[in-house]
Amino acid sequence: MERIKTDILVIGGGSGGLSVAAGAVQMGASVVLLEGHKMGGDCLNYGCVPSKALLAAGHQAHAMQASGGKYGVAPKPAEVDYAAAKDHVHKVIETIAPVDSVERFEGLGVRVITEYGRFISPTEVQAGQHIIEARRIVIATGSGPFVPPIPGLDAVEYHTNETIFDLRERPEHLIIIGGGPIGMEMAQAHVRLGSKVTVIEGAKALGKDDPEAAALVLDRLRGEGIEIVEEAAAEKISGADGKITVETPKGSFTGSHLLVAVGRKVNIDKLDLDKGNVKHDRAVKVGDDLRSVSNKRVYAVGDAAGGLQFTHVAGYHAGVIIRSMLFGLPSKAKTDHIPWVSYTDPELAQVGLTEAEAKKRHGSHAVTVARFDYHENDRAIATGKTVGFIKVMVVKGKPVGATIVGAQAGELIGVWALAVANGLKMSAIANMVAPYPTLGEINKRVAGAYFSPKLFDNPTVKRVVRFVQNYIP
């Protein structure tokens, strides 16, 4: 048994853990990193990266067979090779993997141990034949797919995001349980690659997003042939391989393959947290500083901290705790400035408060909602991407939230993430000069829409203008 002493022990080699390890070791701390499965974590291997790669394949197929008459291009049925699309997915993973590899991090000076870790005391973690004693321990174990206890599910073959990307034969009819972002992205990717798709959602599809924006996305998905059944919790599953039936209050649905995408479960079961005096429920219990409420040597980042489950949140958390661990400075995590995106077509992006949330928190009288539609943007008109809108929720001249649905919404939301994070006023966006013609003008135009009533419908402004025109040479 080898005993190791280190400044920082990181448990988990996903986005948050790798960010902590790389930042800490390059600033002079000794770091040990434990990863018992795949470096890069869920995002690289089973989540963000492969899903976007498969969506890209679906986009290409859709572009060929969708009507291109308005561009002068005749549509042509796409000849989809589903296995080759999956080859593309794995090629993308392989291209990115070296950035997250054991070799790279060992090259930075991190001691990487490819074993799972578990607490054996408040200051010690055992990983295989190693016992690591650390001044600071970071839990960055991420999450995995939650599999609900639906009667009959364990008797049929089903997929989660951890297995769907290894499927080589195109599903004839894919049934997806779960109408959140993962379910909807996989639904659109598969229908565009030639599968019939049914989505079964126990509540509202895309229910965490702005209802008006979500409705626009769902209309598009239904228009592409996806059957979306809402308010229909899965009650029982039966059948055999190639013919699986899901029973709901709204009827039974039979397909060839089943994907379960109902949420995430934090990976803490193997950690023996009680032996480390680390309080937990579904995740590690932490304060705003991301420190364990019961063991101040321990931090948690990303999904393990129990908050928003996004890769970029884990990276943000890493920066928060590095400030505390390495420099002893106070540092707290916030959530109001965190953006998220559903990468459907059209995309749906959000940062800060939705319209309903803003009015509930600040009062309807205090919130101004500025809006601009894609169909008024020249680049959107030129490219035929006119479906969508942006609306920004403004309180006392500052944006407190923004919703964008439409082409490249995930790119456009960055401006509003910057504004919310730094407390910028709407005037800062209005002062921006956007190149013409770009979709980026949508951000400037919505700022203009906020100021227009204050300028054009203001009697005082008009009196001043008349005075200047009449009396000042």
Task: Specify binding-site residues.
Answer: 52, 117, 141-143, 178-185, 201, 263, 303
Residue 444, C-beta contacts closer than 8 angstroms, at least 6 positions apart: 429, 430, 432, 433, 434
Q: Could you give the C-alpha distances from 141 to 17, 127, 144, 307, in angstroms and in order?
A: 8, 14, 9, 14
Q: Which residue has the tokens 């990276």?
A: 315
The pair phi, psi for residue 65, each rounded to 5°, is -100, -10
Q: Helices in 307-376 by DSSP H: which ranges?
A: 311-327, 355-362
* 218/193 Cα distance (integer angstroms): 18
| CB-based contacts of 297, cutoff 8 Å, min separation 6 | 122, 123, 134, 135, 136, 137
Q: Are 334 and 417 in contact (CB under 8 A)?
A: no
Binding-site residues for FAD: 52, 117, 141-143, 303
Enumerate the β-bridge partners of residue 239: 244
CA distance 219 to 225: 10
Structure tokens belonging to residue 52: 């976007």
CB 375 within 8 A of CB 356: no
What is the identity of the amino acid at 210? D
Question: 3-class SS at 144?
Answer: strand
Cα–Cα distance, 372 to 377 (Å, whole number): 9
- Enumerate the known binding-site residues for NAD(+): 178-185, 201, 263
